[in-house]
Amino acid sequence: MGAGHKRVRAPKGGVVIAVSHAAARGATGNCEQEPLDERGDRPHDPSLLCPEPAAGYLGRRYSEDGLFQSERGNTIVCHPVAGSATEAALLAARQRFLNMPDAHKFAFTAPESLHMTLFEGVLDRNRALPFWPHDVAIDTPLERMTEIFQARLAGFEPGPRFAVEVTGAAPIGLRLQGATAEDRYAMADWRNRLSELLGLRQPNHDHYEFHSTFAYPIAWLDDQALPDWQAMLDAVVTDLRAAAPVLELRAPALCVFEDMNWFEEVLVLEPRA
Give per-residue pLDDT as tens, 167-220.
999 999 999 999 999 999 999 999 999 999 999 999 999 999 999 999 999 988
**Strand partners of residue 165:** 177
Q: Which of 98, 110, 5 is nearest to 52 (CA)?
A: 5
Residues with Cβ within 8 Å of residue 147, at least 6 apart in sequence: none
Residue 53 has a pLDDT of: 53
- Write the Ramachandran bin of 80: left for phi over 0, alpha for psi from -120 to 50, otherwise beta: beta
Spell out the alpha helix ranges (H) of 106-212. Answer: 142-153, 181-198
**Biggest CA pair distance of the chain:** 53
Give the three-state DSSP class for 87: helix
Q: Report all structural domains of the chain as residue ranges with CATH numbers, in order of start.
A: 72-268 (3.90.1140.10)
Give per-residue pLDDT as tens, 149-168.
999 999 899 999 999 999 99
130 prior amide bond cis, ω within 30: yes
Mean pLDDT of 97-112: 96
Q: How confident is the model at residue 26 (pLDDT cuts 50, 70, 90)?
A: very low
DSSP 150: H
Angle of helix 85-98 versus helix 226-243 axis, rounded to 10: 170
Q: How far is CA 52 from CA 104, 175, 239, in A?
A: 15, 17, 27
Give the three-state DSSP class for 214: coil
Q: Which of 87, 125, 79, 69 is nearest to 259 (CA)?
A: 69
Query: What count of other Cβ atoms lies within 10 Å of the Cβ of residue 127?
Result: 15
Spacing of C-alpha 239 from chain mean position: 20
**Separation of alpha carbons 155 and 149, rounded Å:** 10
Residue 55 has a pLDDT of: 56
